[in-house]
Structure 1
Amino acid sequence: MTIAATDEAVHVRAPGKINLFLRVGAVQPDGYHDVASAYQAVSLYEDVRAWPDDEFSVSFEDGSVDTSGLPTDASNLAIRAAKLLARTAGVPGGVHLEIAKHVPIAGGMGGGSADAAATLLACDALWGTMLAKEELHALAAKLGADVPFALSGGTATGTGRGDRLSPALATGSFHWVLAVAEFGLSTPAVYRELDRRRELASSAHGAHGALMAAPTTTPTVDTAVLQALRAGDARMLAEAVHNDLQAAALGLAPGLGGILELGESHGALAGLVSGSGPTVAFLVDDADSALELQIALSAARLNAVHVHGPVHGARIVHG
C-alpha cells in the first residue's frame, strides 16, 4: 500500500528512436527472432500526463499525429504499463493518462513503447512508489522489447529480443530527416514477410539463397557502427547503417523505395527504413543539409521532420 505523492498531474516526455542497425536471426520455435540492433533516441517526443483517478483510462490530446485509430481500452500499452506498476507496487487506485503523440503510429520508431516508458515513470512519481531504476527497467522489459530503451535513451545496442541493452558511446550529435508515412506497417507482418522471403530464397536457389538466408549464428552489431558512433562521424556511420527488415518492408510497401531514392538524390548520406517501417530515416551531414533535404522532401508532398540524436530517455518535465 502506498500513498499518492501528488494530486497534481505528472508530466513525462519520452523519445522515439531510430534503428541505425538491425540484424535479424532465424525464427525461433516460439515465432520470435533474436536480433542485434543499434538504437538512437531522437528529438521527437511523446508527452504523457498522469492524474490520480479511481479507474485506469487514457485519452489522446493535441499531438501532431492522428490518433483516431488507437485503442483506449485495456489493450493500450500505456494502460498496461500503469496496471503492471500498480499490481507490482500494490497501489489501490488508478490513473488517468493524457498523451500528446508526435512519434508516428506503427512507424518503426517505438512511439507506443515511449508512451509505456513515460507512463511507468509518471505513475511511479504520481503514486510515490519509489521503484529503483532496475525495477522500472524490469517492468519495461515485460511490456515490450523497445520499452527499456525509451526509459534509458541515448544510444545503445540491443540483443536477444532487443531488450538486453548495453549503452553505446556516441560523441557529438547526428542529424536525421525523417520521411513520415501516412500509413503504418504491422511489425509482425514485416517479420513474417522476412521469414517468407528467406524460406523462398533457401528452397528455390539452394546455395544461391545464402544472401537472403537467415544467419545461422547469433546476430551481432557490426563494429563499424560502434566505431562511427564513437567517432561522431556521420559519413562513417552512413557506410555502416543496415536493416535486415528493409527488403521485407519495401515488399509490403513498395512506395518506400522511391522515397529512399529521392532522399539519396538530394544529398542524404544514407537512407534506411527505421525498424519495421514505414518511417524512412535519412542521415545528413549537419543542420543545414537537413533543412535542404527537408525542403526537397516536402516539395514532393512528403511529411519530413528534422530530428537530432542522441537525446535522453524518459524524463519528468517540471513546470
Structure 2
Amino acid sequence: MNAKRAVTLDAPAKLNLFLDVTRRRPDGYHDLATIFAKISLHDTVSVSISARPVVSLRIKNLSGCPLSAGEDNLACRAARLFLREFGLSRGVSISLVKRIPIGAGLGGGSSDAAAVLRAMAALFPGRASGSAGSKKLLKLALALGSDVPFFMQDGAFCTGRGRGEKLSPFSARGPLPHILLAYPGAPVSTAKAYAALDMTKKRLTVGQNLNRLQRKLQQGVSVLGWGHLLYNRLEDAVLPRYPKVRALVQRLRKAGDFPVLMSGSGSCVFALIPQHKTAVALSGRLRNRNLAVFVVKFLGLGEQ
C-alpha cells in the first residue's frame, strides 16, 4: 500500500554564480565548472496517483511565456521515465504552477522535472529507496538534462563539474545579498548558446576563482568581497548575438555599483544588492511591459 496519494513540492529556480565551459566533449556535451545556487523564485509541482495508467499535466501559467502541456514537457517526460524505468504500470496526474520564465537560464524546466522525480519517489517508496534506488534516480535525472541532478539535491549551493552532474554541496553563510532578477521578454536557446561559444579563444586563468568564490561564500564574506569573482563564459557567446540581453546587462551595470551577471545560458540577468530597499527601488525603475523583474533571495543557510 502506498504511503501517499499526492505530493506537492516547490521547484526553485537557480543562478550560476560562476560558469566556466572547459571543453567540448566527444559526445556533444560540454564540461563545466560551475557554482549553482537555488533562489526563492519557484514553480509549484503537485503529483498524484491517478486511476488511469496515463501521465496527464495541467498548467497554471503565470510566467508570461508560452509553455506546452504536451508530452514534450520535461515534467511529463520525467514521470514517464520514472514509471518505465521502475517497471510501474500506473498513471499520475501532474499539476504545475509555472512562475519561472522559460529559456531564461534559471533551470525552471529542469527543476520541475526534478520535483516530479522526487514526488514520484515519495509516492512509490518501495521502488526508489535505498542506495541502488537513489543511484538509479540520479541516472534518470541526468538523462533528462544536465541541470536536473542539481535540483535533486537538498542543499541550496553546489559546485558542479562534468556536465554539471558531479556535484559537491556546500553551505553558504550570511549575510547574503538580495537578488534583482530581470527577464528581457525573450528566451535564449541553450543549444545555440553553447554552439556559438568559441572554445579556441584564449582566456585569462579563471578556474581558480571558482574555489575562491566558494570559500568566501562558506566564510560569510559580504558580497562586496566576492562580487568581482562572478563569471559566466557563455556571456561571450550570448551578448553579441542577443541585443536585448546585452542591453539589459549594460542597463543594470549603469544602475549602480553592483555585481551583474547573466545566469546560465541566459536570457535572465541578475544584480546582487546588499540592501533590500535598494533592490526594490531599482526594480520599480526597471519594470515595464517588456521586462519582468523580481526581487528574490538565496535559499539555504544564510537565508535572510
**TM-score interval, normalised by the smaller of the two chains:** 0.7 to 0.9
- The secondary structure found in structure 1 opposite 2:181 is strand
Could you state the TM-score of these two structures normalised by the residue count of structure 2?
Answer: 0.88
Distance 1:67 1:256 in 2: 16
Distance 1:276 1:168 in 2: 23
Equivalent residues in 2 for 1:47-126, closer than 5 Å: 47-53=44-50, 54-61=53-60, 63-66=61-64, 68-73=66-71, 75-126=72-123
Give CA deviations for 1:11-37 in whole Å, capped at 9, x if unaligned.
111211000000001222222211100
User: Is contact 1:82-1:95 (8 Å) kept?
Assistant: yes
Change (3 A) 1:300 1:143: closer
Change (3 A) 1:132 1:286: farther
User: Is contact 1:91-1:127 (8 Å) kept?
Assistant: no
Q: Does 1:307 align with 2:296?
A: yes
Equivalent residues in 2 for 1:166-177, closer than 5 Å: 166-172=168-174, 173-177=176-180
Residue aligning to 1:315? none
Distance 1:10 1:266 in 2: 42
Could you state the TM-score of these two structures normalised by the residue count of structure 1?
Answer: 0.84
The one of 231, 234, 240 aligned to 1:242: 231
Distance 1:76 1:255 in 2: 26
Q: Does 1:184 align with 2:173?
A: no
Displacement of 1:95 in angstroms is 0.7
Distance 1:305 1:132 in 2: 39
Q: Does 1:228 align with 2:226?
A: no
Structure 2 residue identity aligned to 1:156: C
- Aligned residues with identical type, % of pairs: 33
Q: Does 1:278 align with 2:279?
A: no
- The secondary structure found in structure 2 opposite 1:252 is coil
Residue aligning to 2:203? 211
Distance 1:65 1:124 in 2: 27
Structure 1 residue identity aligned to 2:219: A
Distance 1:221 1:109 in 2: 22
- The secondary structure found in structure 2 opposite 1:211 is coil
- The secondary structure found in structure 2 opposite 1:167 is strand
Listed as ranges, the gaps of 5+ residues in structure 2 are: none
Displacement of 1:110 in angstroms is 0.4
Residue aligning to 1:194? 197
Listed as ranges, the gaps of 5+ residues in structure 1 are: 200-208, 313-319
User: Is contact 2:22-2:31 (8 Å) kept?
Assistant: yes
Aligned length: 292
Displacement of 1:301 in angstroms is 5.6
Structure 2 residue identity aligned to 1:231: Q
Structure 2 residue identity aligned to 1:181: P
Equivalent residues in 2 for 1:149-164, closer than 5 Å: 149-152=150-153, 153-164=155-166
Structure 2 residue identity aligned to 1:70: S
Residue aligning to 1:205? none
User: Is contact 2:114-2:148 (8 Å) kept?
Assistant: yes
- The secondary structure found in structure 2 opposite 1:36 is strand
Higher relative contact order (CA 8 A, sep 6+): 1
Q: Does 1:252 align with 2:241?
A: yes
- The secondary structure found in structure 2 opposite 1:251 is coil
User: Is contact 1:179-1:279 (8 Å) kept?
Assistant: yes
Structure 2 residue identity aligned to 1:64: L
Distance 2:29 2:16 in 1: 18
Change (3 A) 1:68 1:269: closer
Give CA deviations for 1:112-143 in whole Å, capped at 9, x if unaligned.
11101110111122233452473333432232
Displacement of 1:64 in angstroms is 2.1
